Structure 1
């Protein structure tokens, strides 16, 4: 929690007064969400599924939950449209008129609560008709005229109220500020990054102005942790979304902000196959994304241990190599860090919250609460 506090202050410093919407996928723990939302400068949650947003709003964690992605969960939609209290606290994400049709198929406008709607702008950089891309494949909404067309459809349609715009620049979310300065790959990365930044700045500003001419918006959100300083200063942005910086996962290690590692898991040594090798139980907690070394958990303490290239992190056991292994006995713990922030919570029932040398709380994760949203 000492590292958590330091990371929260770093995020607030980089946001420079722009409110931070907490990305729940990076935490997946109600106690940590409460802690973040209780700090001045943090406001609202960016949820990753509609059922999660309903649960967080219904249990009092927050009264302002924006669902980051469109939903086709008819059961959750039915719950939302039947409860005016929830409908006033949860905002759904839309990037296609067919998603509005889906809601109306669940409940006709005259028979349900009015739903809050946010439009999702695709912020990726593309060249050669999309064959070269930087950023995630998200929304089909790119040009201002496309966004305005959908905005007008929402505004004119009964049962919906357009309240927000999301412009989440995923290509900068884990931006590595300390990439090598030499080599063709590094130069190409910097060139694409610069072009992407210029394209997004102009296109996002044009989209925000165009949509605001259609209707008044309550919020325009961008993010995430890796780009929070630039996003907070961008034209028209009223809030930034961030979460992974609070826990400081491996993917942020090269970020110039210096977020401190705050989340760890420990596995016991169960075998000693030979000199310079121990085996720990479990360990195959891989991060999502492309299959590269950044998705593997990292042995942290004791220092001097590494994964086997031929076996990696295993489902039931993980061999660790290094001279340090010879000093470990059966039952000793090896501490690891996860590649990403929130996904670790899917593997454990609770987090132990520690300040200094003192255990201050044991907080159930979503899994410990009996919840699995994806």
Structure 2
């Protein structure tokens, strides 16, 4: 899964296939570039959730005489009176809203429905075991359980509706994420789950009750001075995750055990003070190891990642930044 059309085109140029752009593409030149890549043999699927999306893609694809595969994005948020539990993504929440989009696909000879996607972010991306938050945790768990039932029913009903159109069989039904792996996989209609950041097991996933993954990625910042007894100031470190601003979006000290960020300064752009009262005698030049909060922070900030096994660096691989790429 990619997050922009340009990223998909870049990966296709490196030989990757079966690329799904996870968000809608509107810019005409980007759609045109996808059409050219498909004409040259790339397998790229664009995300859609409206008649406008279909018409835009059809107009451009017809000019290049190419059929572009699309994926129908479903809204999976739980809407209750006074509460929207989920994220604002697709406007497609009911079968009545989906039908006009399917009709538009049928009427567009240069667009083909390849799959559907429904990301239940309120299940996959919301922790339910935060320390000192018992009441909130119970509420989130209740809302998650209610969401899981509604998400499954919504996805099943959508698949039945699509079957009634007698279109070619879908290539995939994409659902969920790392935090919903154990529930999304229980749905018979789902063929793939986008686990994404789960391969890294970043710090945000420490706050889930139903699973615990082993930390698999992080970064080191160098101590450059000792500001006070037990306070070591490091260079850089403020690699903050996206989303609503909060302390949980900061990187978290991992080693040495017992290290913590300063509550007022946090992780800074140019310096990060770390409190460490432990037995190790730290000095300038020593590293403090941290875990990032989400997934993209490492590849946005560092040119390469080191692959380590049993204390040995086995390989150094470039990130998008290292390759000189920037898609947003």
TM-score range, shorter chain: over 0.9
Show the 5 A alignment for 1:150-165.
Answer: 150-165=101-116
Corresponding position: 1:339 with 2:293: yes
Deviation sequence 1:193-226 (CA, Å, 0-9, x none): 2221222121221111111222231211102111
Cα distance in 2 for residues equivalent to 1:121 and 1:294:
28
Change (3 A) 1:183 1:230: closer
Change (3 A) 1:277 1:117: same
Corresponding position: 1:311 with 2:262: no
Match of 2:83 in 1: 132
Show the 5 A alignment for 1:331-370.
Answer: 331-370=285-324
Corresponding position: 1:217 with 2:175: no
TM-score by length of 2: 0.93
Deviation sequence 1:274-314 (CA, Å, 0-9, x none): 11111000011011111122101111111121111111111
Cα distance in 2 for residues equivalent to 1:354 and 1:58:
28
Deviation sequence 1:239-259 (CA, Å, 0-9, x none): 221121111100111343321
Cα distance in 2 for residues equivalent to 1:355 and 1:321:
29
Note if contact 1:87-1:115 (Cα within 8 Å) is conserved in structure 2: no
Equivalent residue in structure 1 for 2:238, among 268, 280, 284: 284
Cα distance in 1 for residues equivalent to 2:41 and 2:123:
32
Note if contact 1:174-1:226 (Cα within 8 Å) is conserved in structure 2: yes
Task: After TM superposition, give the deviation of residue 103 of structure 1 in Å.
Answer: 2.7
Note if contact 1:176-1:254 (Cα within 8 Å) is conserved in structure 2: yes
Cα distance in 2 for residues equivalent to 1:262 and 1:187:
29
Show the 5 A alignment for 1:240-319.
Answer: 240-255=193-208, 256-319=210-273
Cα distance in 2 for residues equivalent to 1:177 and 1:301:
25
Note if contact 1:305-1:320 (Cα within 8 Å) is conserved in structure 2: yes
Aligned residues: 325
Cα distance in 2 for residues equivalent to 1:53 and 1:365:
15
Q: CA RMSD in A?
A: 2.0
Corresponding position: 1:112 with 2:65: yes
Task: After TM superposition, give the deviation of residue 140 of structure 1 in Å.
Answer: 0.2
Deviation sequence 1:143-198 (CA, Å, 0-9, x none): 01211221121122121111111011111113546467984323322222222122
Structure with the larger RCO, 1 or 2 (CA within 8 Å, 6+ apart)? 1
